[in-house]
């Protein structure tokens, strides 16, 4: 057992106090239990193009950039300022500041602002999954890259392919409704490698809810910028929700978006009136 002389007690207490303050200052400020972290990016699909920053930061000829924001919120959804967030990425380079004078931001605590947001920039030549962690809370976002300047997503019905319903008005819950979507640039040229997500919205009609699934989704555009997907109503709930015998019917709008919702297609309306 070590005994500290009384004359050293005040000095020792002061040293311990300083040490405790330093330890607190060096540790991350983390949110309370139940907090969440949501990651978003602009754009969520990055066009790849040649640029000096690509050579300077990544040693490649072509790349793209995105602003990445992680929002920390309490269990009740209230944004939390003053929390430390640590970012990581499976590809590219995370930084703060300007591309001409970047500061490495990978696994460095970056404090949230008064809106609960912590921000970094990503420069990458390949699709990257960005993770953000604050204490026990974490979130991820996959940021896709495409060669070309994505301008629009064009959604259409496919009423003629084998196995597809020939009308956008389904009369049984077992019918399949087919769609095609095309990602194009400003000149209408298809863009390969865009990851598209199919979904339905506005799917409640007179308190009757239409549920179902697209397959495949998400799906990556081919060399022409095109993808196909099929929608089938949920066979468990559709017969009761959309039954004509019970004077019911269902309707919804199909839509396609890039990951993160940065780009959205036009919508296609369809109905289901089951026996």
Question: Helices (H), strands (E): how many in the chain?
Answer: 3, 21
1: pLDDT strictly greater than 80: no
158: pLDDT strictly greater than 50: yes
Tokens 């979904």 correspond to what residue? 199
| Structural domain boundaries in the chain | 36-147, 152-272
User: What pLDDT sits at residue 49?
Assistant: 86
User: What pLDDT sits at residue 172?
Assistant: 96
Secondary structure of residue 178 in the 3-state scheme: strand
Return d(Cα 57, Cα 102) in angstroms, integer.
Answer: 9
Q: What is the mean pLDDT of residues 243-259?
A: 95
Instruction: Round the average pLDDT of the chain to a whole number and report it.
Output: 90
- How far CA 215 is from CA of 46, 242, 271, in Å, comes to 25, 21, 19
Q: Which residue has the higher pLDDT, 150 or 123?
A: 123
Question: Which of 2.60.40.10, 3.30.70.270, 1.10.40.30, 3.30.565.10 is the CATH number of 152-272?
Answer: 2.60.40.10
> Fold identical between 36-147 and 152-272?
yes
Per-residue pLDDT tens over the stretch 45-103: 888 888 999 999 999 999 999 999 999 999 999 999 999 999 999 999 999 999 999 99
Token pair for residue 64? 């793209």
- How far CA 25 is from CA of 20, 107, 117, in Å, comes to 9, 17, 21
Q: 36-147, superfamily in CATH?
A: Immunoglobulins (2.60.40.10)
User: What pLDDT sits at residue 27?
Assistant: 80
CA dihedral of 220, 262, 44, 149, whole degrees rounded to 10? 70
Per-residue pLDDT tens over the stretch 223-244: 999 999 999 999 999 999 999 9
DSSP-assigned states of every residue in 118-176: EEEEEEESS-EEEEEEETTEEEEEEEEEEES---EEEEEEE-SSTTS-SSSEESSTT--
11: pLDDT strictly greater than 90: no
């Amino acid at each position: 057992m070590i005994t500290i002389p009384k004359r050293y007690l005040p000095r020792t207490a002061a040293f311990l106090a300083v040490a405790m303050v330093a330890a607190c200052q060096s540790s991350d400020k983390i949110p309370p239990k139940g907090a969440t972290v949501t990651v978003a990016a602009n754009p969520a699909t990055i066009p790849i193009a040649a640029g000096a920053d690509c050579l300077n930061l990544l040693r490649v000829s072509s790349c793209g950039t995105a602003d990445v924001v992680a929002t920390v919120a309490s269990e009740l959804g209230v944004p939390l300022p003053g929390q430390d967030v640590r970012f990581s990425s499976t590809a590219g380079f995370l930084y703060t500041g300007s591309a001409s004078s970047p500061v490495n931001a990978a696994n460095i605590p970056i404090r949230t602002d008064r809106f609960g947001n912590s921000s970094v920039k990503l420069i990458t030549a390949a699709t990257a999954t960005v993770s953000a962690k604050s204490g026990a809370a974490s979130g991820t976002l996959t940021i896709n890259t495409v060669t070309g300047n994505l301008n629009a997503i064009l959604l259409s019905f496919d009423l003629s392919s084998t196995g597809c319903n020939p009308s956008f008005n389904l009369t049984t819950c077992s019918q399949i409704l087919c769609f095609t979507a095309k990602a194009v640039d400003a000149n209408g040229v298809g863009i390969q490698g865009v990851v598209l997500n199919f979904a339905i919205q506005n799917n409640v009609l007179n308190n009757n809810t239409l549920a179902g699934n697209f397959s495949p989704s998400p799906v990556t555009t081919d060399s022409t910028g095109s993808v196909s997907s099929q929608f089938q109503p949920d066979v468990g709930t559709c017969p009761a929700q959309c039954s004509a015998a019970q004077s019911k019917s269902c309707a919804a709008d199909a839509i396609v978006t890039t990951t993160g919702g940065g780009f959205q297609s036009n919508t296609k309306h369809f109905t289901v009136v089951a026996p």
